[in-house]
Amino acid sequence: MTAEVDARSARRARTLSLRHLPGLMREPLETFERLGSEASGEIVRVNLGVSRPYLVTRPEHVQRVLRDNAENYPREGMMWKPLTRLVGGIAGEGPEWALNRGIFQRLMSGPNIASVTGEMARTIAEAVDELTGRLAGRPGDSQAEMTRIVQRAIIRVFFGNRISLDEADHLADAIRTATRSIGFRMLMPFVPLSVPLPGDRAFQAAVRSVDEVIFPLVEEARRGELAERDIVSMLIETRDEQGRRLNDQQVRDGVVAMFTAGTETTATALTWLWVVLKEHPAVADKVYAEIDAVLGQDRPDRTHLPRLQYTKMVIQELLRMYSVGWIIPRTSVDDDVIDGVRIKGGSTIVISPYLTHRVADVWPDPEVFDPDRFSPTRSKGRHRFAYMAFGAGPHQCVGTLFFTVEAHLIASTLLQGFRPVVQNESPVRPQVRLTLIPRERVDIVLNPASHR
Ligand code: HEM
């Protein structure tokens, strides 16, 4: 039976009421969570007056939107527009997206990553040495410090030596401002761009700053020798299906996309790691013991990574609870039916790993931090779309392997000699921006491992 025939007999989604709109402005994450628990796995519409987006949380339903009928649910709509202005075609759909995705997939393939892991490990070791020397017992802002390490690794691997650390800092600041100021647009994708929202002006200014750093870099790279295998060279050499080279704007977009998608996500995940290790000392002890046993006195490299199994489970569980990529909005083109519920064409569809990871019959006791959920035995039989930290379907994250290698190298290099101890006295709560970041600044002190 086609969706069209089905649609006539399908039931309407239950509607949750308008009273949530002020809450979304005031306490975005709490209100969003409340909506998720009121929906309790059912497909619902959220009546916000101006718009009535569908909220889709159960794995089977998410599978229909993100994979089985993905052509009907493109990434259009207003939230993607500002993001496209920052990172270009990869945030969209169609031929421009496909071209970008192809480039990124090649770049992020297993053999390519394996070939750069040694260089990445050396850069991370240098960055960690620099950090431990600089902090030397003083507290430091975890997010800023993790960002610095992540950026150094990304810069070396993707940009060769084209970009100075100063330029990289400037670029990173601008990208951070842009991604921080986009939260309201993501929560309220139905608000037209002509209606100003908090953060809009900061976003525009930040995008201009990004351009000021990247365009000269692209021009310089075009003039120079392209001997280095960095992403700028790859992008410059890339041709589209008609054999045309990318223009400066497309090269700039590729660079910024990589930087944006790869920096804040990874740095935020690492900051959450220090938070969960503080909150769960028994988990922390198992992580430390595993790293000591696997590494001994060796500097971490790719031969160690497959043996850091418990650390891997801890990172998986922290991305379940603190889903850094917390929202995946889509737009429906035609009417569809999901599990007997009619989805009207032309609507906003909100998918949220953060909420799917809290559907109670899929993830029992969802608020309990329990890395053993990811043991091979307990993972058996779990729906493929139950865990969506990296999205799913044609747009699934292309950087998953890169993230895994990078995050494990950074965590194990730091933990081999030090214990990053979070100084915040009260529990650290999350807040929504482009990624799910800590609401308060997280300060860490690096204690020598022997003093724990
Ligand atoms: C904790 C780390 C990360 C998380 C949680 C994460 C999460 C996600 C999610 C949920 C999506 C899907 C978006 C959608 O369906 O609309 C995505 C897409 C993407 N990610 Fe990641 N990501 C991470 C790290 C990275 C890294 C390190 C890179 C690159 C170096 C990267 C590059 C990308 C790109 C280019 C896309 C767009 C793919 C497409 O639309 O075809 N990500 N990521």
pLDDT one-digit tens code per residue, 266-300: 999 999 999 999 999 999 999 999 999 999 999 99
In terms of average pLDDT, the best of 32-36, 81-85, 255-259 is 32-36
Nearest CA to ligand 1 atom 35: 398
DSSP 286-321: HHHHHHHHHHTTSPP-TTTGGG-HHHHHHHHHHHHH
pLDDT of residue 103: 80
In terms of average pLDDT, the best of 20-29, 50-59, 250-259 is 50-59
Total length of the chain: 452
Where residue 126 falls among pLDDT bands split at 50, 70, 90?
A: very high
- Residue 451 pLDDT > 60: no
Contacts of 205 (CB under 8 A, 6+ apart): 177
Q: What's the gap in Å between 17 CA and the centre of ligand 1?
A: 32
- Residue 444 pLDDT > 80: yes
Task: Supply the mean pLDDT for the chain.
Answer: 88
Where residue 321 falls among pLDDT bands split at 50, 70, 90?
A: very high
Where residue 109 falls among pLDDT bands split at 50, 70, 90?
A: confident
Nearest CA to ligand 1 atom 16: 328
Q: What is the mean pLDDT of residues 113-142?
A: 91
Q: What is the mean pLDDT of residues 53-76?
A: 96
pLDDT of residue 6: 66
- Residue 2 pLDDT > 60: no
Which pair of tokens denotes residue 434?
């482009």
Q: Which atom in ligand 1 lies closest to the alpha carbon of residue 90? A: 40
pLDDT of residue 141: 97
Q: What sign does the CA torsion over 128, 131, 136, 137 have?
A: negative
For the chain, percent of residues with pLDDT exceeding 70: 95
Identify which of 427, 450, 96 has the alpha carbon closest to the alpha carbon of residue 442: 427
Domains and CATH numbers, the chain: 3-451 (1.10.630.10)
Where residue 115 falls among pLDDT bands split at 50, 70, 90?
A: confident
Which residue did the predictor score with more confidence, 181 or 367? 367
Q: Which atom in ligand 1 lies closest to the alpha carbon of residue 104? A: 35
pLDDT of residue 95: 83
- Residue 395 pLDDT > 90: yes
Q: What's the gap in Å between 10 CA and the centre of ligand 1?
A: 34
Tell me how far apart the terminal alpha carbons of the chain are, to the nearest angstrom. 63
**Ligand 1 mutation target, pool 86, 143, 397, most atoms within 8 A of CB:** 397
Where residue 217 falls among pLDDT bands split at 50, 70, 90?
A: confident
* Lowest mean per-residue pLDDT among 14-23, 375-384, 426-435: 14-23
Q: Which atom in ligand 1 lies closest to the alpha carbon of residue 91? A: 40
Q: Residue 392 in contact with residue 400, Cβ under 8 Å?
A: no
pLDDT of residue 181: 84
Strands 418-422 and 348-351, sheet pairing: unpaired
**Ligand 1 mutation target, pool 66, 265, 350, most atoms within 8 A of CB:** 265
- Residue 216 pLDDT > 70: yes
pLDDT of residue 236: 82
- Residue 388 pLDDT > 90: yes
pLDDT of residue 78: 60
- Residue 38 pLDDT > 70: yes
Contacts of 186 (CB under 8 A, 6+ apart): 79, 327, 329, 432, 434
Q: What's the gap in Å between 15 CA and the centre of ligand 1?
A: 31
Where residue 1 falls among pLDDT bands split at 50, 70, 90?
A: very low
Nearest CA to ligand 1 atom 36: 397
Identify which of 70, 104, 110 has the alpha carbon closest to the alpha carbon of residue 90: 104
Which residue did the predictor score with more confidence, 194 or 417? 417
Q: Which atom in ligand 1 lies closest to the alpha carbon of residue 329? A: 16
Q: Residue 340 in contact with residue 11, Cβ under 8 Å?
A: yes
User: How many helical (H) and strand (E) elements, i.e. helices and strands, does the chain have?
Assistant: 18, 12
pLDDT of residue 39: 93
For the chain, percent of residues with pLDDT exceeding 90: 55
Site of tokens 């900061």:
202
Where residue 3 falls among pLDDT bands split at 50, 70, 90?
A: low
- Residue 357 pLDDT > 70: yes
Where residue 194 falls among pLDDT bands split at 50, 70, 90?
A: confident
- Residue 311 pLDDT > 50: yes
The neighbour count for residue 244, using CB atoms within 10 Å, is: 10
- Residue 183 pLDDT > 80: no
CB within 6 Å of ligand 1 — which residues? Answer: 75, 90, 101, 104, 257-258, 261-262, 265-266, 269, 319, 324-325, 328, 389-391, 395, 397-399, 402-403
Q: What is the mean pLDDT of residues 75-99?
A: 79
In terms of average pLDDT, the best of 59-73, 111-125, 189-203 is 59-73
Which residue did the predictor score with more confidence, 365 or 237? 365
Q: Is position 370 annotated in a ligand binding site?
A: no
Nearest CA to ligand 1 atom 43: 397
Q: What's the gap in Å between 405 CA and the centre of ligand 1?
A: 15
Longest dimension (CA), the chain: 68
Contacts of 317 (CB under 8 A, 6+ apart): 276, 369, 370, 371, 373, 374
pLDDT of residue 18: 66
Q: What is the mean pLDDT of residues 407-431?
A: 96
